[in-house]
Structure 1
């Protein structure tokens, strides 16, 4: 993997552990020479992981819609900042540039981005690994919901396994490196 898109919050969250883990992940990505593809902001967990990678001499590409860049939240010190017109273009560009995807703690926007790559992998429009870094059990309820979807037959077990979950970034990357795209879903 040469690049990874990280979806995460534009706030720091309620616990210091989110920031701490974002810094550790950033250092890891820089050491592994994996380029970060992210939303381009200087704030929250987004800014934290970008700063950590840049501090270690790593590469960071931000993709930000013009309306957010105009609100002065764009990170000014990135390796590259790509400005696009819409949120849809942002997601498409990030999908194009990234070899894989990870969700860190975040809000509805983080989930929306993750769900799109998960869904696209499930139906065969995308064939790249995706994972959830479950810091401090943040995504436990979401994981329970996926398990409930399987139990209620709204999600096939093979589709549930399209993404990886781990509370350790090194272990998550180890799993993602072994990714094999599933057979394209048929009905």
Structure 2
């Protein structure tokens, strides 16, 4: 199974987020799945990929040219697919992924997650989406989703399109169910 993981490339965030990223990288490797991710060794992406490598995991980084050109970017150039734009990067990850995991991240991570959910809403993707809410990171987003349903901006049936979890162990159980 190809599992796309979306997360922060920032090195300035709290250690608790790095710990969970490492656990996810290890879990994907130990389960024999392929990690799809943003292609850098920076921030949570780096922790995720390095831990995946440490446990013999397979990985494919998908990166856009503008990110390669940014100063200070450390690339995983061993297994890297390069595309022209962020939109093409999202499309390639969706094309390759059997499941999507969203770790804590900023605007880019949120953009990727919302794009996947929008694709699911119109039937362009059937792959499951899981938000790992480390230390309640996605609690506010989960509340916003509930408001969508309460105020009829989304149909109740869409609740099955994604999962919010709090621990990596829950992710391992869900991935086993997705097979």
What's the TM-score, normalizing by structure 1? 0.89
Aligned to 1:124: 123
Aligned to 2:73: 73
| 1:86-127 per-position Cα deviation (integer Å, ceiling 9, x unaligned) | 111111111111111011000011011001111111221111
SS at match of 2:118: helix
Task: Write out aligned runs for 1:1-187 (5 A).
Answer: 2-12=1-11, 14-71=13-70, 73-76=73-76, 78=78, 80-178=79-177
**Runs of 5+ consecutive residues of structure 2 not aligned to the other structure:** none
What's the TM-score, normalizing by structure 2? 0.93
- Contact 1:68 / 1:74 at 8 angstroms: preserved in 2? no
In the aligned structure 1, how far is the partner of 2:34 from the partner of 2:76? 17
- Contact 2:27 / 2:172 at 8 angstroms: preserved in 1? no
Q: How many residues align?
A: 178
Q: Please report how far the alpha carbon of residue 17 of structure 1 lies from its aligned counterpart in structure 2 after TM superposition.
A: 0.6
| 1:58-101 per-position Cα deviation (integer Å, ceiling 9, x unaligned) | 111000111211235242354x1001111111111111111110
Cα 1:36–1:179 shift into 2, 3 Å: closer
- Contact 1:164 / 1:175 at 8 angstroms: preserved in 2? no
Please tell me the root mean square deviation across aligned C-alpha atoms, in Å.
1.7
Q: Please report how far the alpha carbon of residue 177 of structure 1 lies from its aligned counterpart in structure 2 after TM superposition.
A: 4.4
